[in-house]
């Protein structure tokens, strides 16, 4: 399952819980647990969609043979 799909499912469930809590169908005792569940689902979705920061890589120096080939190409020496 794709991470975006999973995050979308959790967000839809959070919206359903929010609508259920706001509709008044639940008792007052359940208001706080429903709000905590909504918060947990939203934080879980953010955590799933979080992008990892990657270190920028420096370009590798080419092998010495490549430098020789470039010099030969710039000088115009055929056959080497």
Q: How far apart are CA 71 and CA 77, in angstroms?
A: 9
Q: What is the per-residue pLDDT across 19-59, written as a single tens digit (0 to 9) for each?
A: 988 888 888 888 899 999 999 999 999 998 887 666 677 77
What pLDDT, on the 0 to 100 scale, is given for residue 77? 56
pLDDT the model gives residue 78: 62
Q: Is the pLDDT confidence value at 79 over 60?
A: no
Beta strands in 1-80 (DSSP E): none
CA angle 46, 49, 53 (to 5 degrees): 105
Question: Bigger pLDDT: 27 or 67?
Answer: 27
Q: Per-residue pLDDT for 15 more than 90?
A: yes
CA distances from 54 to 43, 44, 51, 57 (A): 22, 21, 9, 9
> Alpha-carbon distance 68 to 66, whole Å?
5
């Amino acid at each position: 399952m794709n991470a975006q799909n999973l995050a979308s499912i959790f967000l839809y469930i959070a919206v359903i819980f929010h609508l259920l809590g706001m509709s008044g169908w639940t008792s007052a005792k359940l208001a706080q647990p429903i709000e905590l569940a909504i918060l947990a689902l939203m934080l879980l979705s953010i955590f799933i969609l979080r992008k990892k920061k990657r270190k920028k890589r420096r370009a590798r120096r080419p092998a010495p043979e490549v430098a020789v080939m470039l010099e030969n190409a710039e000088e115009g020496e055929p056959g080497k």
